[in-house]
Amino acid sequence: MTTTRFAPSPTGRLHVGNIRTALHNWMLAKKGGAKEQGRFMLRIDDTDAERSKEEYVEAIRTDLAWLGISPDGEERQSARMALYEAAFEKLREAGRVYPAYETAQELEVKRKILLSRGLPPIYDRGALEMSEADRAAKEAEGIAPHWRFKLDHDEPITWEDGVRGSQKFDPAQLSDPVIRRADGSWLYMLPSAVDDIDMGVTDVLRGEDHVSNTAVQIQMFTALGAQPPSFAHEALLVGKEGKLSKRLGSLGCDAFREQGYEPEAIVALLARLGTSLPVEPIAEREKLLETFDLSTFGRAPAKFDDNELHRINAAIVHQMPFEKVRGFVPDDFTEAAWHAIRPNLEKASEVVEWWQIVTGPIEQPEFSEDDREYLGEAARQLDFDADDPWHALTGALKESTGRKGKALFLPLRQALTGMNHGPDMGELLPLIGEDEARERLTRAANG
């Protein structure tokens, strides 16, 4: 069974890049139909006790629920410390972790020296050259060590990436990563690998900024006696200007909700963003899942464009059934009203403004004397006994006044709605009703 995971840190709200990662992992687990569906796990990476906040944990759950992404289970790293301790001891006994005592300033000096010589700033493993006496002296000074994972330099690290293809890293060109701070707290690398093993994660899909982390973690899996999962690294999101944008970091579900976007539109856009498949207003998850395939993912940065989201959202709203809006429209708002107004909406929340046109009051423009006379004629000719009052009215007025085109239709729309454009008047006029329509036409005729 395919098992994927989404592992956010609860140090802030989810942004659009996080949302895309969560969605793609959910889709990777759920593609293939009900019988073949795998598990999608939520892992809260809250080992950073100082920055992690419970309000963000709740926000993550709320945002995923709003998007219709339902985890099949949830784990919290703060409740799994015993597992990390056990893995750490296993690695220490095997000689795969070692204490290091350099300060941040000392490491920075080493880095600058290497760069000045035109060399890659790789950790020199100076801590491995320390004797027991050296370590004892550091301890006596009250200097607690941080801990590094010792990479095996004997063989290259290789894997077949689900997006990037064959990958190969020379471990000698990588720094032994710090896995534990001097205060005993954990960094990302080891707990993540331990959790993937314990949770049975089979597929890790994440951003391409984690590629070098994957090289290191593959050795961690092996050192812990586990088979590494399959890895895939997708291109990162950029803004429409083609650059990494700080603004993308502030675009989250709370912002999308405030701006009136539908979760189906966000899912439809992000599901295919960065793939060779066309971005279409597909509201049905099953259709998106049918076409989800890592082979369609490209290496070029995926461009997030607000205009594209706006277009997709409007198209999703135009497909939306009445049941979706019943909860926030006025009590007297009917399915016929939704059918009439829906084609003019870009966001479902705009329906309340459009309904105001039906219920009134409306503000009419100034009309010329000819138009006022014409509208008075319209008030007299209005016939709600006809099967189609609007076309009966315009047909009669065309016959009696000789008007056609814009001169025939625009003054009527302006008098009846106060606008130059809008919903189909054939559907809108019955919603306005005979008495109100006649009153608006008479008021416009009287100036």
Give the residue ranges of the annotated binding site for ATP: 246
Whether 43 and 195 have beta carbons less than 8 Å apart is answered as yes
Phi/psi for 109 (5° steps) reads -65, -45
Cα(402)–Cα(62) distance, integer angstroms: 60
Q: What three-state secondary structure class fits 35?
A: helix
Q: How many CB atoms lie within 10 A of CB 46?
A: 20
Measured N-to-C along each axis, helices 405-417 and 425-432 cross at an angle, to the nearest 10 degrees, of 30
**Residue in 103, 82, 77 with CA at minimum distance from that of residue 9:** 77
**Residue in 181, 194, 172, 161 with CA at minimum distance from that of residue 80:** 194
Task: Give the contacts of 15 (CB within 8 A, at least 6 positions apart).
Answer: 248, 249, 250, 251, 252
CA angle 183, 185, 191 (to 5 degrees): 155
Length of the chain: 447
| Most distant pair of Cα atoms in the chain: their distance | 110
Which residue positions form the known binding site? 246
Torsion sign over Cα 411, 414, 417, 423: positive
Under DSSP, the state recorded for 351 is H
Cα(392)–Cα(371) distance, integer angstroms: 19
User: Which amino acid belongs to residue 337?
Assistant: A
The two three-digit tokens of residue 119, written as one number: 């060399």
Whether 394 and 408 have beta carbons less than 8 Å apart is answered as yes
The two three-digit tokens of residue 226, written as one number: 């586990």
